[in-house]
């Protein structure tokens, strides 16, 4: 069997170009041969306009026009689904698809693991954010952010979406990198004719959550083309954690643990080996000051986004059609951060030193004060700005005898700015060493007990700033058309070549603006990718030659070779089969290899994060760590083998019923992983990632290898390497279930839908040779996710009800007395009414989400709910108005 193999040979770089040239030459030769074949003008003339348009559509998962991906399952979200569910933006739409790992959560939350970068990403089967490829009308888009960079689907206005196609199957043989779990393609509309407008306002009667969306579009269709321009504005206002009663670190009121921190506005002070809680001077762990530090933080970031999409398509003549797309989006987010932590040693000559009764400091002895900045400084506000600009140009050239040459060129650029204000801990320590009331820092008191001039030297504009840009330049040339006749129709082929230039620029600085500001990273990385691909569709049996036992038999063969500058080359094949032994049943299957090249944000240079005053289990308290984080230029590609098989039932004795069940299996190797502190200090395999009690020379070497983002304390107790590495593998399998049933009656039409994912296994070996562990049924691999709906339509009125289900799971967090987390069922309802007498095409819609205001199930963590699977917002109500004119 062919396996994914990266070959680091310089000659293969040139070979990729030769392969692409050869592919294009073969295309033109095949087209020339096809021109000599017998034409079929009668059949072409008999096609309706709709059939002709369908025959020109390229469906996600294949490069051949007019055919669906053979053997692979596909979930398609159409405009009717969008209207009934009324998402305010595309990110919210993604959260309604059970096959995506972020199903059911708040779309305003950045996808877990997307370091430094906002955005809500498709994550098919929860395999990982790097394993799902996002396409925008069939092509890639430049990534967003400065680390773990990935495209942002939220940039597309919902009003401009024609459909969303999710192919939950390995697809590197068609698209190259990133398509291990599958592909999510956001297909633009081509049917807008006139003006369309849509506005949504949503709020919660339980707290201060609000969301707003306004979209306006104009389109025009004519016999030889169309144009569309859509603009969208969306924004949200978030409640704070304090407004939602169960979001607390102290969960004892629900029978859970008290996980409040001991770094509070009231300090805990260590003198010798005794810890005192100020100002009571109580001792003992149970008497330490504890606090809820996150109450002022918003539940989700507050955001504002403006997006613009323009498309145009024009047939120049019977042979050539030109088309273009332009994208622009500007996103701003902000979120109140937790108070910054401080760990200050106070000498005996600090005039503000407070000692417990009867306690004195010995010679050269200090008091260690642990507190946060609350009461001294306002909570910092983290902010991010993201801008995306994209331009795509293309030409479709008819070569004769149904062969079509497609040429596409694309350019996109993203600009991201991330700001995280901090306090200057080095200045705080220096001022704590001062000896006068006018110049010394008083860490025992609050703002009123400190000189304003002293506090301004600590809260002095010290900020972590990451300023980055990503670029994508792409050229693809493809041709497809018939090869020869088979019993079920023409064998069809697609062949082509693709070239991409990817680039990232990243400037990261830390400190106070000015000459003392630290330069952390200044990267400018680029790489060139060349690829050649081919695909063949073989229809042995279709409706035109069906016979008992073979109503349909189609086979698809596809293959792609990608060559990455510096990484080498990889060849990935795929085979798909569909067999329908009877009209009511179709069986399908596929097998493929796939890969994920490390994205540019993960191969930037590493940097250092001094972490002061940590308590690390198994190592010590009040520990200073030098954390080497960031990217890793030595990363190599992730690799996978995938297969799936399924059945589609459309029984003729139950009209309008469709049931689809698919089994999938993914073996995912050489995974990119960032070790945690728990890994480094407690897992023997990751002992390489930590140096305990380093020598001064080792500290100097660590700082040189990873420049610090803030001043380094004089004492470093451990060096921790948290940058990404390749390690381990996963084997994941499960079932996708899709049901639809439409029942027309004399009193309206009923439509039943259900879509669910059942994970069967999630086995992972984090470190080679350590053995596999099956984590199915734990918080990282929830067994069941699903959404079902029942709608009723009569004339201008449509009423719909939905149930969202997230299965229960086991919380394996150490120490929890309540490991079992219950399943969660929430119910939504929408009522739509057309208003043709007000304005043709106008509609009003009311929507209630979580209408019974169910709290998420109790999860014994620092928030009281599991944010990767549950929403804390409770009941929300929305009003949507749509119109066309």
Task: Please state, in angstroms and rounded to a whole number, the distance separating the CA atoms of residues 516 and 775.
Answer: 48
Q: Which two tokens stand for residue 376?
A: 């001294």
pLDDT at 656 over 50: yes
Contact (Cβ atoms closer than 8 angstroms) between residue 483 and residue 493: yes
Instruction: State residue 38's pLDDT score.
Output: 35
Answer with the residue of higher pLDDT: 209 or 115.
209
Give residue for tokens 């996002």.
134
pLDDT of residue 882: 92
Average pLDDT rounded to a whole number, residues 182-203: 94
Q: Are 669 and 729 in contact (CB under 8 A)?
A: yes
3 state SS for 175-207: HCCCCCCEEEEEEECCCCCEEEEEEEEEECCCC
- By C-alpha distance, which of 494, 655, 605, 567 is closest to 70? 494
Q: Are 304 and 111 in contact (CB under 8 A)?
A: no
* Per-residue confidence (pLDDT) for residue 363, from 0 to 100: 84
- Decide if 555 contacts 8 (C-beta within 8 A): no
* One-character DSSP codes across 129-180: GGGEEEEETTB----BSSSS-B--GGGS-GGGEEEEEEE-S--HHHH-TT-S
Relative to beta strand 638-649, strand 620-630 is unpaired
Residue 265 pLDDT: 94
Structure tokens at 549: 């036992």
> Is residue 737 a contact partner of residue 758, using CB atoms and an 8 Å limit?
yes
Q: Are 88 and 202 in contact (CB under 8 A)?
A: yes
pLDDT at 546: 94
**Is the distance from CB of 673 to CB of 764 less than 8 angstroms?**
no
pLDDT at 34 (0 to 100):
41
pLDDT score at 92: 83
Query: In the prediction, which pLDDT does 156 show?
Result: 93
Once rounded to an integer, what is the mean pLDDT over residues 220-226?
95
Average confidence (pLDDT) over 355-359: 91
H or E element at residue 218: strand 210-222
* Sign of the Cα pseudo-torsion (75, 78, 83, 86, in order): positive
Calpha distance 739→266 (Å, rounded) = 57
37, pLDDT greater than 90: no
How many other CB atoms are found less than 10 A from the CB of residue 796? 12
Q: DSSP assignment of 792-861, as one string?
A: EEETTEEEEEEEEEE--EE---TT-S--EEPPEEEEEEEEEEE-TTTSTT-EEEEEEESTT-PPPPP--S
C-alpha torsion angle, residues 846, 847, 852, 857 (rounded to 10): -170
The gap between the terminal CA atoms of the chain, to the nearest Å, is 58
Phi-psi region of 151 (alpha: psi -120 to 50; beta: other; left: phi over 0): beta
> How many C-beta atoms surround the C-beta of residue 54 within 10 A?
13
For residue 258, the 8-state DSSP code is B
The DSSP 8-state label assigned to residue 485 in this structure reads E
Alpha helix segments (H runs only) across 388-451: 425-432
Lowest mean pLDDT among 48-52, 405-409, 769-773, 806-810: 48-52
Task: Give me the residue label for tokens 């040189």.
Answer: 704
Query: Which H helix or E strand runs over 51?
Result: helix 49-55
Strands 725-726 and 672-673: antiparallel
Using DSSP, state whether 697 is helix, strand or coil.
helix
Point out which residues pair with 718 in neighbouring strands. 625, 692
Q: In what helix (H) or strand (E) does residue 520 lie, and over which residues does it extend?
A: strand 518-541
The CA angle 286-290-291, to the nearest 5 degrees, is 160
Of 47-56, 296-305, 652-661, the least confident = 47-56
| Whole-number pLDDT of residue 112 | 67
H/E element, 394: strand 381-400
Which of 654, 652, 663 shows the shortest CA–CA distance to 580?
652
The whole-angstrom separation of Cα 206 and Cα 245 is: 11
The rounded percent of the chain whose pLDDT value lies above 70 is 93
Which three-class secondary structure state does DSSP give residue 92?
A: helix
- What does the alpha-carbon distance between residue 720 and residue 698 come to, in Å, rounded to a whole number? 12
Residue of 851, 695, 675 lying closest to 204 (CA atoms) = 851
Sheet arrangement for strand 182-188: 74-78, 161-167, 182-188, 132-136
pLDDT value at position 710? 86
Q: Residues of the chain with pLDDT > 90: what percent?
A: 71
E strand or H helix that includes residue 12: helix 10-35
d(CA 304, CA 212): 9
Q: What is the mean pLDDT of residues 153-163?
A: 91
Nearest-angstrom CA–CA distance, 437 and 290: 29
Model confidence at 776: pLDDT above 90 = yes
Using pLDDT thresholds of 50, 70 and 90, give the confidence band for residue 43: very low
pLDDT for res 20: 44
Over range 607-613, report the average pLDDT: 86
> Per-residue pLDDT averaged across 753-780, rounded?
90
For residue 113, the model assigns a pLDDT of: 65
Burial class (CB in 10 A: 0-12, 13-18, 19+), 263: buried
Put simply, whether the predicted model's pTM sits higher than 0.75 gets the answer yes
Over residues 438-459, the mean pLDDT reads: 96
Averaged pLDDT for residues 744-752? 94
Q: Which residues are 557's β-sheet partners?
A: 536, 575
Is the predicted pLDDT of residue 24 greater than 80, yes or no?
Answer: no
Asked if 494 and 480 count as a contact pair (C-beta separation under 8 A), the reply is yes
pLDDT at residue 358 is higher than 50: yes
Pairing, β 403-421 against β 381-400? antiparallel
> What is the rounded CA–CA span in Å between residue 462 and residue 238?
27
Calculate the average pLDDT of the chain: 89
How would you classify the pairing of strands 718-721 and 620-630?
A: parallel
Q: Which residues pair with 431 in a beta bridge?
A: none
Contact between 410 and 473 (Cβ < 8 Å): yes
Q: Are 538 and 520 within 8 A, CB to CB?
A: no
Rounded to whole angstroms, the Cα distance separating 424 from 514 reads 14
Q: What is the mean pLDDT of residues 692-714?
A: 92
Q: Is 426 exposed, middle or buried (0-12, 13-18, 19+ CB in 10 A)?
A: middle
Q: State the average pLDDT over residues 209-213.
A: 94
Compute the radius of gyration of the chain from its Cα atoms. Answer: 30
Q: Kindly tell me the number of DSSP H helices and DSSP E strands found in the chain.
A: 10, 40
Q: State yes or no: pLDDT of 46 exceeds 50.
A: no
* Consecutive H or E run containing 80: helix 79-85
User: Using alpha carbons only, what angle is made at residue 539 by residues 535 and 540, rounded to the nearest 5 degrees?
Assistant: 130
- Confidence bin at 54 (pLDDT 50/70/90): low
Q: What is the pLDDT of residues 59-71, one digit of tens each?
A: 899 999 989 899 9
Residue with tokens 């609000």: 210
616 pLDDT tier (thresholds 50, 70, 90): confident
Instruction: Mention every residue, 6+ apart, whose C-beta is less than 8 A from residue 830.
Output: 84, 85, 86, 798, 799, 800, 802, 845, 846, 847, 848
Give me the residue label for tokens 């739409």.
Answer: 93
Q: Which are the contacts of 281, defined by CB distance < 8 A and separation ≥ 6? A: 356, 357
Rounded-to-integer distance, Cα 128 and Cα 130, Å: 5
* Torsion sign, CA atoms 278, 280, 285, 287: negative
| Measured distance CA(117)–CA(111) in Å, rounded | 9
**Mean pLDDT on 511-517:** 89
């Amino acid at each position: 069997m062919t396996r994914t193999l990266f070959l680091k040979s310089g000659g293969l770089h040139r070979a990729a170009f030769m392969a692409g040239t050869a592919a294009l030459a073969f295309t033109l030769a095949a087209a020339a041969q096809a021109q000599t074949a017998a034409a079929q003008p009668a059949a072409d003339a008999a096609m309706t306009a709709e059939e002709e348009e369908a025959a020109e559509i390229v469906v996600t998962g294949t490069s051949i026009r007019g055919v669906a991906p053979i053997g692979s399952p596909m979930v398609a979200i159409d405009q009717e689904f969008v209207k009934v569910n009324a998402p305010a933006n595309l990110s919210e739409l993604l959260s309604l698809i059970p096959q995506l790992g972020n199903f059911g959560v708040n779309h305003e939350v950045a996808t877990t693991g997307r370091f430094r970068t906002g955005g809500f990403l498709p994550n098919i089967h929860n395999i990982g954010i790097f394993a799902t490829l996002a396409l925008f009308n069939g092509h890639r888009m430049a990534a967003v952010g400065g680390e773990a960079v990935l495209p942002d689907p939220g940039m597309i206005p919902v009003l401009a979406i024609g459909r969303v196609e999710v192919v939950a199957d390995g697809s590197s043989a068609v698209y190259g990198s990133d398509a291990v779990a599958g592909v999510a393609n956001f297909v633009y509309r081509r049917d807008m004719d006139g003006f369309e407008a849509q506005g949504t306002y949503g709020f919660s009667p339980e707290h201060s959550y609000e969301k707003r969306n306004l979209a306006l579009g104009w389109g025009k269709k004519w016999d030889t083309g169309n144009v569309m321009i859509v603009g969208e504005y969306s924004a949200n206002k978030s409640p704070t954690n304090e407004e939602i009663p169960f979001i607390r670190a102290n969960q004892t009121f629900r029978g859970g643990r008290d996980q409040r921190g001991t770094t509070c506005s009231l300090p805990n002070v260590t003198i010798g080996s005794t810890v005192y809680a100020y100002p009571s001077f109580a001792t003992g762990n149970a008497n330490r000051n504890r606090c809820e530090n996150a109450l002022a933080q918003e539940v989700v970031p507050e955001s504002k986004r403006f997006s613009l999409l323009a498309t145009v398509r024009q047939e120049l003549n019977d042979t050539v059609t030109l088309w273009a797309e332009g994208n622009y989006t500007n996103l701003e987010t902000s979120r109140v951060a937790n108070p910054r932590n401080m760990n200050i040693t106070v000498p005996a000559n600090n005039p503000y030193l407070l000692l417990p009764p009867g306690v004195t400091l010995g010679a050269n002895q200090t008091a260690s004060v642990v507190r946060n900045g609350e009461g001294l400084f306002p909570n910092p506000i983290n902010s991010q700005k993201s801008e995306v600009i994209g331009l795509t140009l293309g030409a479709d050239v008819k070569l004769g005898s149904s062969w079509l040459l497609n040429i596409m060129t694309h350019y996109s650029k993203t600009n991201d700015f991330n700001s995280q204000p901090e306090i200057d801990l080095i200045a705080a320590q220096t001022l704590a060493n001062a000896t006068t009331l006018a110049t010394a820092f008083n860490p025992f008191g609050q703002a009123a007990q400190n000189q304003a001039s002293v506090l301004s030297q600590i809260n002095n504009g010290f900020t972590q700033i990451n300023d980055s840009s990503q670029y994508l330049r792409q050229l693809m040339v493809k041709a497809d058309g018939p090869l020869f006749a088979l019993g079920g129709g023409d064998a069809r082929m697609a062949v082509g070549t693709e070239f991409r230039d990817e680039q990232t620029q990243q400037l990261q600085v830390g400190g106070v603006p000015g000459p003392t500001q630290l330069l952390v990273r200044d990267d400018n990385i680029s790489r060139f990718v060349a690829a050649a691909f081919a695909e063949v569709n073989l229809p042995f049996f279709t409706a035109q030659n069906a016979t008992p036992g073979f109503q349909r038999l189609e086979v698809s063969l596809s293959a792609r070779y990608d060559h990455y500058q510096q990484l080498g080359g990889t060849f990935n094949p795929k085979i798909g089969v569909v067999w329908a032994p009877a009209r009511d049943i179709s069986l399908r299957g596929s097998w493929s290899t796939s890969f994920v090249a490390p994205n540019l944000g993960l191969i930037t240079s590493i940097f250092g994060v001094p972490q002061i005053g940590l308590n690390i289990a198994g190592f010590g308290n009040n520990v200073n760590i030098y954390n080497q984080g960031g990217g890793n230029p030595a990363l190599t590609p992730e690799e996978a083998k995938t297969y799936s098989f399924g059945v589609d039932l459309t029984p003729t004795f139950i009209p309008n019923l469709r049931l689809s069940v698919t089994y999938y299996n993914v073996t995912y190797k050489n995974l990119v992983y960032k070790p945690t502190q728990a890994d480094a200090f407690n897992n023997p395999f990751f002992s390489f990632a930590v140096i305990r009690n380093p020598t001064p020379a080792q500290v100097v070497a660590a700082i040189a290898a990873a420049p610090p983002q803030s001043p380094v304390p004089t004492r470093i107790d451990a060096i921790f390497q948290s940058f990404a590495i390749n390690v381990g593998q996963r084997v994941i399998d499960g079932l996708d279930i899709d049901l639809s049933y439409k029942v027309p009656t004399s009193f309206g039409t009923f439509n039943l839908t259900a879509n669910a994912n059942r994970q069967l296994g999630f086995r992972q070996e984090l470190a080679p040779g350590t053995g596999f562990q099956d984590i199915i049924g734990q918080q990282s691999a929830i067994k069941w996710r699903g959404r079902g709906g029942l709608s009723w339509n009569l004339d201008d009125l449509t009423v719909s009800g939905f149930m969202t289900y997230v299965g229960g799971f086991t919380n394996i967090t150490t120490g929890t007395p309540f490991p079992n987390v219950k399943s969660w069922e929430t119910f939504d309802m929408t009522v739509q009414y057309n208003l043709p007498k007000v304005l043709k095409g106008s509609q009003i819609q009311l929507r209630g989400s979580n209408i019974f205001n169910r709290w998420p199930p109790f999860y014994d963590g620092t928030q009281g709910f599991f944010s990767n699977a549950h929403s804390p917002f409770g009941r929300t109500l929305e009003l949507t108005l749509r119109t066309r004119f």
